[in-house]
Structure 1
Amino acid sequence: MMRQYELVDRVRRYNPDTDEALLDRAYVYAMRAHGTQLRASGDPYFSHPLEVAAILTDLELDDATIVAALLHDTIEDTGATKVEIERLFGRQIADLVEGLTKIKKLDLVSKQAKQAENLRKLLLAIADDVRVLLVKLADRLHNMRTLKYVPQEKRDRVAQETLDIYAPLAARMGMQDMREELEDLSFRQLSPEAYGSITARMAELRARNGPLVEEIERELQQELTLRGIKAVVKGREKRPYSIWGKMERKAIGFEQLSDLYGFRVILESVEDCYRALGVVHTKWPIVPGRFKDYISTPKPNDYRSLHTTVIGPKRQRVELQIRTQDMDDIAEFGIAAHALYKDESGAQPIILSNESRAYAWLRKTIENLSQGLSPEEFLEHTKLELFHDQVFCFTPKGRLIALPRRATPIDFAYAVHTDVGNTAVGCKINGSIAPLVSELKNGDEVEIITSKAQTPPGAWESIAVTGKARAAVRRATRAAVRAQYAGLGRKIAERAFARAGKVFSEEAIARGMPRLARTSLDDVFSAVGRGEIKTDDLIRAVDPDWSAPRADERGGHRAPNGDGWFELKKGQNLKFKIPDGAEETHGAAIPIRGPRGDLPVRFAPNGGAVPGDRIVGILTPGEGITVYPIQSRDLQKFEETPERWLDVRWDVDELSDGRFPAQLLVTAVNEPGSLAQVATAIAERNGNIEGIEMRSRSPDFTEMRIDLGVFDLRHLNGIMADLRSRAVVSSVERLNG
């Protein structure tokens, strides 16, 4: 176990002005607080916070962070309190320790909803001070290094949590070395056979090739020195998890991997980086498509480097990362590499995390908490943001937008602004009109075309790549559906009040909302539209003394429908009668404009309904109105629930191009070309075949059940007439329930 003076020496190496007395006090306090506590390995518990502090000294962090690491388990696991730590070590350190205590209470490997909520808390805890995250990552790294001492049933859960949450967070903070070690430790636990196979194959390759890495290092170094470029070349094999990930991603075997070695070329200036790149590309053939310039366009986590792959010495494919020493520090330590600066006295390093692009990403993620995302949506959004590589695109004004790989203009639009995404109707990529589903590439200039009349289709959710775009589409879809249900509920409520002889009044309904357990009129009407609140209950909330007439007083349920009536009485089959001179009731009926109208409307599952049919609406809880033609036998299913029957009427413009569902049963001669003739007859009448089922009724005839999209009843009748005129068609029948 590290001694007190050894810890101080480690800090003094990079910070000669360290507060040695502060570190000594923290060391002694934590050691006494943990006392005789033991870890699962049998070691003194204090060895754990001490190792966490040691990891952070490798990141060259400030005194407060090192002290917080020493104390990070004291509030949770000992009798220490925040008040006492604040008295002994100051407010800043006490706040850090308290933040780490809150994170320790999270169970990120529980059920998804709870995991999502805890991820919220994790990010909120680190939002104010990124040092909380740095200590937590070091804490997790040491726990993963000693995972073998944890009970078997817990190891997989901890490893999966590390792979899902902490390794990607380390990557987003630019801490690549820590990320790679966390990934490898998790991989070894979760997939021991794959890990063992890859390490064995790498050992065989190493034995066969000999000191290949050293030879390539030497040749690269000599070539750069000959050109007068001062450089340090470092080579290494790729890590097992990185190799396995590439094999999985590209669906290839180990033998097909050609870039198992990576080399870093560290130079003194940015100018030297580009000179070295020229030397490498002049000396060895480049592998096409493998050059990336992250110096001119850094990654969101501040990573900067030139990447290229060449067929280098020994005819080996060599992956090169060319950068300066400062860039290398950031690549290795990420946000910790530039998180410090001196105060005016020059004595104490202080966190300056708001200058980091990585920390800016973290704050942007926290902002999403204010957008009302559900825990599951927030988890999805954050994981998407953590795991995706980046492409860089530009607005017409030159603004740089970083997006995940495989992003579309839909993602781009929402990255610019939510309102831009919600009103997007088209786009131009590099000046040319392109589909909104196009995959964007690095350097694309994207212009989004908008319309205030547009609302995002629900299908965009499956097309979008970013969590922000998906969440925004879901919100817009929910708002549109809610508005539909609220509109339907208002119409139903108005009619219910009229039937009860009551005056419909929003003010009166608002006063009755507490009885309905709703907080707004929209909530009330939406619940009525969904069938969650019955109209009788709504009227009673306004007038508690009102009572609904009994079933035997209603004399059956009568509902106007176009120019006729249908009648439904308990205990009877469905009977329709259309009395002469029935008064027109179009003004009272709910207008139906189709599935894309302003109300939640579906059509009868067995046969549909088309304009021109006499129709009735059935209120289906949670789904809105289901429209049936009045001749549908399926209506008999609803005889016992007359309160669900709604008066509806068509409200469709004659010039509308909207299609409505109908179903035909066509019996055709069983001979070659019969289906083609049937399809031709429908197409010539501008009908749209949306589905077809065929079965042989006999050796001579085939039955075709055809789902059609038609404009109205006249259109449907015309198609049926054309089908009957075909020699191959024996009969045509419209199906209705």
Structure 2
Amino acid sequence: MMRQYELVERVKRYNPSTDEALLNRAYVYAMMAHGNQKRASGDLFFGHPLEVAAILTDLKLDDATIAAAVLHDTVEDTQATLEEITKSFGPQIGALVDGLTKIKRLDLVSRRAAQGENFRKLLLAVADDVRVLLVKLADRLHNMRTLQFMPPDKRHRIAEETLDIYAPLAGRMGIQEIREELEDLSFHTLDPEAYEAISRHLNEVTAKSEKLVEEIEQTLTAKLKAQGINAEVSGRQKRPYSIWRKMERKSVSFEQLSDIFGFRVIVDTVDECYRALGVVHTSWPMIPGRYKDYISTPKQNDYRSLHTTVIGPSRQRVELQIRTVAMEEVAEYGIAAHALYKEGVNDNSRLAVESRAYQWLRRTIDLLAEGDNPEEFLEHTKLELFHDQVFCFTPKARLIALPRGATPIDFAYAVHTDVGNTAVGCKINGRMSPLLTELQNGDEVEIVRAEGQTPPAAWESLVVTGKARASIRRATRAAVRQQYTGLGTQILERAFERANRAYSHEKLKGALPRLARGSTEDVLAAVGRGEMFSGDVVRAVYPDYKEDRRAGLADQSAAIERPGGSSETVTDGIPIRGLNDDLPVHFAPNGGAVPGDRIVGILTPGEGVTIYPIQSASLADFDNEPDRWIDVRWDLEAEPQRYPARIKLQSINEPGSLAQITQVIADHEGNIDNVTMKRRTQDFTDVTIDLGVWDLKHLNAIIAELRAKRTVSRVDRVTG
């Protein structure tokens, strides 16, 4: 276990003016608080917070963070209180320990929904101070290093969660060393055989390639020095999980990988970065498509570097990263490298950091306020954690960073939610393009908008960013609610009219307490969804009203006419157009309905109105539910459209019979949606056809001609 003086010495290496007294007090306080507590390994528990603090000294963090790391388990696991911590060590350390304690109290190894909620709380806890996240990542890293002492089932869950959330989160914060170690430790636990196999291969390749790596380092150093560039060149073997992920992504074997090693070229200035790149490209042929400039367009975690791949000595593919010393520090330590987390920062540095490295985390936390449920939030955030980036531009040259595979729809929502919701088209590099085009690095994207547009629900499955999915889902829900509100308004207006009572939103608002709803919109949507019956609303507004069920049903006239009964002309029913109507309308699943049919609407909770022909036998199922019957009528003033119908035929079983049937439908401009066939006997086949027709006259014309065909023995319309 680390001694008191060893911790102080580790901090003094990078911060000679460290507050030794503070660190000593934190050490002694935590040691006394934890006492003889033991970990699963049998070691003293106090060794764990010390190791967490040691990891953070590698990131060269400030005294407050180191002290908070030493104290981070005291409030949760000992008799210590937050008030004591704050009084003894100050409000800054108290706030850090408080944030870590809130995270500690969460069972992060849990079911998906609970995991999503816990992840939300994790990000909320770091919203005010990202140092909470840095301590949490160090805590997770040490727990992963000692994972072998946990039960097997718990080991697997912790490793899976680490690979899903913590490793990519470390990557998003730019802390590559911690990210890579978390990935390898998780990989070793989740698939030990694959880990061992790749590690064995890597060791063999390293032994064989040791001289080649030295040769490339020496050759490149000499070439740069000849051009007056003093550079530090170092070769680096890729990590097992990185190799495994590349093998999986490209579906190749280990032997087929040609870029096991990467080389870093560290220079003094940005100018020397580009000069070094020129030396590399004039010395060896570059591989097209493998050059990336993250200096002019940094990643969202502030990573800056030039990337290129060349065919180097011995025809070996060589990956190169060229950067300055300052860029190297950010590449290794990420957000922890910024002066904000060192001693003596000023407000300007805080603003500079928050404008770049903290941007993604801020945006993700903003999503918490937009109403996603925990599972959706976790899904959306993981989408962004795992994707590489492409960089695109608005017509005004604003840089938009997106996950690889993103479309103009994702781009539109990245610009602003309103832009995404009203998007109807796009121009990519000045040319009209489909909204589902995959964007490439450097594309200039202009979104074409139309006010009043609502994003189609299908977009949700086509976009790749969490923000786009969340926004589309919210817009879809809002549109559906608006539909149900409109339907509920029409239902209530007719219900009050049948009751000979006046209807107004003001009267409805006065009845809200009796209806247990918070707003008139809630009532209207509930009626539209079928969760609240119109008669109950009438009685809530007019308590003295007594509904005559029989009279109410008679008033609905043809809308509830039973087969064989009398009918009256429907004049005031809710207008129904079809599937493109602004009401949540569906047609009977077994046969549909077409203009010319007498129709009735059946309200289904959560689904809207289902339209049945009045002769449909399925209506008998709703005889005992009169509140679900809705007065409807056709509204054919909109653009012509086809409506669903179903016919059933018996055809002679001979070659060409199906072709004759489909030809009749085609000649009449009917549209076949589905065909099912079942052999009835050796000579006859039952054929069921779902088709789209303009109206009842159109359908009857098709049926009449089919009956005239020699190969068809019988044709009937199916009405359920």
TM normalised by structure 1 equals 0.93
- In the TM superposition, residue 470 of structure 1 has moved relative to its aligned partner by 0.9
Q: Evaluate the alpha carbon distance shift between residue 52 and residue 351 of structure 1 in structure 2; reply closer, same or farther with a 3 A threshold.
A: farther
Q: Evaluate the alpha carbon distance shift between residue 722 and residue 435 of structure 1 in structure 2; reply closer, same or farther with a 3 A threshold.
A: farther
Asked if 1:426 is matched to 2:425, the reply is yes
- Name the amino acid aligned to 1:542: V
- In the TM superposition, residue 736 of structure 1 has moved relative to its aligned partner by 1.3
Q: Evaluate the alpha carbon distance shift between residue 613 and residue 19 of structure 1 in structure 2; reply closer, same or farther with a 3 A threshold.
A: same
Q: Evaluate the alpha carbon distance shift between residue 684 and residue 345 of structure 1 in structure 2; reply closer, same or farther with a 3 A threshold.
A: closer
Q: How does 1:231-250 map to 2 (within 5 A)?
A: 231-250=231-250
**Distance in 2, Cα, partners of 1:9 & 1:646:** 80
Please say if residues 96 and 132 of structure 1, whose CA atoms lie closer than 8 Å, have aligned partners that are also in contact. Answer: yes
Q: Give the equivalent residue in structure 2 for 1:131.
A: 131
**Distance in 2, Cα, partners of 1:702 & 1:189:** 59
Asked if 1:663 is matched to 2:652, the reply is no
3-state SS of 1:617 partner: strand
Q: Give the equivalent residue in structure 1 for 2:632.
A: 648
- In the TM superposition, residue 250 of structure 1 has moved relative to its aligned partner by 1.8
Structure 1: segments with no counterpart, 5+ residues: 569-573
Please say if residues 341 and 350 of structure 1, whose CA atoms lie closer than 8 Å, have aligned partners that are also in contact. Answer: no
- In the TM superposition, residue 377 of structure 1 has moved relative to its aligned partner by 2.0
- In the TM superposition, residue 313 of structure 1 has moved relative to its aligned partner by 2.0
Q: Give the equivalent residue in structure 2 for 1:597.
A: 581
Q: What CA deviation, in whole Å up to 9, does each residue of 1:458-507 have, x standing for no partner?
A: 11111111111111111111111111111222222223333334333333
**Distance in 2, Cα, partners of 1:339 & 1:349:** 10
Please say if residues 339 and 352 of structure 1, whose CA atoms lie closer than 8 Å, have aligned partners that are also in contact. Answer: no
Q: Evaluate the alpha carbon distance shift between residue 575 and residue 733 of structure 1 in structure 2; reply closer, same or farther with a 3 A threshold.
A: closer
- In the TM superposition, residue 66 of structure 1 has moved relative to its aligned partner by 0.9
Q: What CA deviation, in whole Å up to 9, does each residue of 1:231-276 have, x standing for no partner?
A: 1111122111111111111222222222111111111111221222
Tell me which moved more, 17-26 or 694-703: 694-703
- Name the amino acid aligned to 1:58: D
**Distance in 2, Cα, partners of 1:228 & 1:672:** 85
- In the TM superposition, residue 62 of structure 1 has moved relative to its aligned partner by 0.9
Q: Evaluate the alpha carbon distance shift between residue 686 and residue 37 of structure 1 in structure 2; reply closer, same or farther with a 3 A threshold.
A: same
Q: Give the equivalent residue in structure 1 for 2:196.
A: 196
Q: Evaluate the alpha carbon distance shift between residue 538 and residue 660 of structure 1 in structure 2; reply closer, same or farther with a 3 A threshold.
A: same
Q: Give the equivalent residue in structure 2 for 1:571.
A: none
Q: Evaluate the alpha carbon distance shift between residue 726 and residue 228 of structure 1 in structure 2; reply closer, same or farther with a 3 A threshold.
A: farther
**Distance in 1, Cα, partners of 2:663 & 2:657:** 10
- Name the amino acid aligned to 2:571: H
**Distance in 2, Cα, partners of 1:359 & 1:672:** 70
Q: Give the equivalent residue in structure 1 for 2:571.
A: 586
Please say if residues 559 and 566 of structure 1, whose CA atoms lie closer than 8 Å, have aligned partners that are also in contact. Answer: no
**Distance in 1, Cα, partners of 2:525 & 2:29:** 60
- In the TM superposition, residue 660 of structure 1 has moved relative to its aligned partner by 1.4
Q: Evaluate the alpha carbon distance shift between residue 718 and residue 339 of structure 1 in structure 2; reply closer, same or farther with a 3 A threshold.
A: farther
- In the TM superposition, residue 58 of structure 1 has moved relative to its aligned partner by 0.8
**Distance in 1, Cα, partners of 2:349 & 2:454:** 48
Asked if 1:538 is matched to 2:537, the reply is yes
**Distance in 1, Cα, partners of 2:13 & 2:232:** 23
Q: What CA deviation, in whole Å up to 9, does each residue of 1:198-253 have, x standing for no partner?
A: 11222333344454433332333233333332111111221111111111112222
Please say if residues 302 and 356 of structure 1, whose CA atoms lie closer than 8 Å, have aligned partners that are also in contact. Answer: no
Asked if 1:24 is matched to 2:24, the reply is yes
Q: Give the equivalent residue in structure 1 for 2:449.
A: 450
Structure 2: segments with no counterpart, 5+ residues: none
Please say if residues 428 and 446 of structure 1, whose CA atoms lie closer than 8 Å, have aligned partners that are also in contact. Answer: yes
Q: Give the equivalent residue in structure 1 for 2:515.
A: 516
- Name the amino acid aligned to 1:705: T
**Aligned pair partner of 1:637 in 614, 617, 621:** 621
- In the TM superposition, residue 607 of structure 1 has moved relative to its aligned partner by 0.8
Q: Evaluate the alpha carbon distance shift between residue 450 and residue 352 of structure 1 in structure 2; reply closer, same or farther with a 3 A threshold.
A: closer
3-state SS of 1:60 partner: coil
**Distance in 2, Cα, partners of 1:565 & 1:421:** 41
Please say if residues 62 and 350 of structure 1, whose CA atoms lie closer than 8 Å, have aligned partners that are also in contact. Answer: no
- Name the amino acid aligned to 1:475: R
3-state SS of 1:358 partner: coil
- In the TM superposition, residue 287 of structure 1 has moved relative to its aligned partner by 2.2
**Distance in 2, Cα, partners of 1:134 & 1:165:** 14
3-state SS of 2:582 partner: coil
**Distance in 2, Cα, partners of 1:411 & 1:511:** 44
**Distance in 1, Cα, partners of 2:27 & 2:530:** 65
Please say if residues 565 and 576 of structure 1, whose CA atoms lie closer than 8 Å, have aligned partners that are also in contact. Answer: no
**Distance in 1, Cα, partners of 2:295 & 2:398:** 17
3-state SS of 2:170 partner: helix
Q: What CA deviation, in whole Å up to 9, does each residue of 1:529-548 have, x standing for no partner?
A: 21211233223323444444
3-state SS of 2:217 partner: helix
- Name the amino acid aligned to 2:384: E
**Distance in 2, Cα, partners of 1:667 & 1:229:** 87
- In the TM superposition, residue 423 of structure 1 has moved relative to its aligned partner by 0.9
Q: Give the equivalent residue in structure 1 for 2:697.
A: 714
- In the TM superposition, residue 362 of structure 1 has moved relative to its aligned partner by 0.9
3-state SS of 1:606 partner: coil
Q: Give the equivalent residue in structure 1 for 2:174.
A: 174
Aligned-residue CA RMSD in angstroms? 2.4
- Name the amino acid aligned to 1:577: S
**Distance in 1, Cα, partners of 2:413 & 2:350:** 32
3-state SS of 1:97 partner: helix
Q: Evaluate the alpha carbon distance shift between residue 454 and residue 311 of structure 1 in structure 2; reply closer, same or farther with a 3 A threshold.
A: same
Please say if residues 664 and 732 of structure 1, whose CA atoms lie closer than 8 Å, have aligned partners that are also in contact. Answer: yes
- In the TM superposition, residue 558 of structure 1 has moved relative to its aligned partner by 3.0
- In the TM superposition, residue 716 of structure 1 has moved relative to its aligned partner by 2.6
**Distance in 2, Cα, partners of 1:351 & 1:35:** 39
3-state SS of 1:447 partner: strand
Tell me which moved more, 292-301 or 198-207: 198-207
Please say if residues 62 and 341 of structure 2, whose CA atoms lie closer than 8 Å, have aligned partners that are also in contact. Answer: no
**Distance in 2, Cα, partners of 1:505 & 1:556:** 20
**Aligned pair partner of 1:577 in 550, 557, 566:** 566
Q: What CA deviation, in whole Å up to 9, does each residue of 1:585-619 have, x standing for no partner?
A: 412x1111212212111100011011121111111
Please say if residues 559 and 567 of structure 1, whose CA atoms lie closer than 8 Å, have aligned partners that are also in contact. Answer: no
- Name the amino acid aligned to 1:372: G
Q: Identity, % of aligned pairs?
A: 66
- Name the amino acid aligned to 2:695: D
- In the TM superposition, residue 293 of structure 1 has moved relative to its aligned partner by 1.1
3-state SS of 2:320 partner: strand
3-state SS of 1:425 partner: strand
Q: What CA deviation, in whole Å up to 9, does each residue of 1:162-217 have, x standing for no partner?
A: 11211111001000111000011111111112111211222333344454433332
Please say if residues 62 and 343 of structure 2, whose CA atoms lie closer than 8 Å, have aligned partners that are also in contact. Answer: no
Tell me which moved more, 143-152 or 162-171: 143-152
Please say if residues 670 and 691 of structure 2, whose CA atoms lie closer than 8 Å, have aligned partners that are also in contact. Answer: yes
- In the TM superposition, residue 61 of structure 1 has moved relative to its aligned partner by 0.8
- In the TM superposition, residue 5 of structure 1 has moved relative to its aligned partner by 1.9
**Distance in 2, Cα, partners of 1:302 & 1:184:** 24
**Distance in 2, Cα, partners of 1:214 & 1:705:** 75
Please say if residues 343 and 350 of structure 1, whose CA atoms lie closer than 8 Å, have aligned partners that are also in contact. Answer: no
- Name the amino acid aligned to 1:482: R
Asked if 1:8 is matched to 2:8, the reply is yes
Q: Evaluate the alpha carbon distance shift between residue 545 and residue 556 of structure 1 in structure 2; reply closer, same or farther with a 3 A threshold.
A: closer
Q: How does 1:169-568 map to 2 (within 5 A)?
A: 169-340=169-340, 354-355=353-354, 357-549=356-548, 554=550, 557-558=553-554, 560=556, 567=561
**Distance in 1, Cα, partners of 2:285 & 2:711:** 67
Q: Evaluate the alpha carbon distance shift between residue 481 and residue 364 of structure 1 in structure 2; reply closer, same or farther with a 3 A threshold.
A: same
Q: Evaluate the alpha carbon distance shift between residue 609 and residue 487 of structure 1 in structure 2; reply closer, same or farther with a 3 A threshold.
A: same
Tell me which moved more, 506-515 or 644-653: 506-515
- In the TM superposition, residue 315 of structure 1 has moved relative to its aligned partner by 2.2
Q: Evaluate the alpha carbon distance shift between residue 354 and residue 517 of structure 1 in structure 2; reply closer, same or farther with a 3 A threshold.
A: farther
- In the TM superposition, residue 673 of structure 1 has moved relative to its aligned partner by 4.5
Please say if residues 590 and 649 of structure 1, whose CA atoms lie closer than 8 Å, have aligned partners that are also in contact. Answer: yes
Q: Evaluate the alpha carbon distance shift between residue 105 and residue 341 of structure 1 in structure 2; reply closer, same or farther with a 3 A threshold.
A: closer
Q: Evaluate the alpha carbon distance shift between residue 618 and residue 703 of structure 1 in structure 2; reply closer, same or farther with a 3 A threshold.
A: same
**Distance in 2, Cα, partners of 1:501 & 1:685:** 47
Q: What CA deviation, in whole Å up to 9, does each residue of 1:606-639 have, x standing for no partner?
A: 1101112111111112211110111222222222
**Aligned pair partner of 1:683 in 666, 679, 691:** 666
- In the TM superposition, residue 445 of structure 1 has moved relative to its aligned partner by 0.9
Please say if residues 617 and 645 of structure 1, whose CA atoms lie closer than 8 Å, have aligned partners that are also in contact. Answer: yes
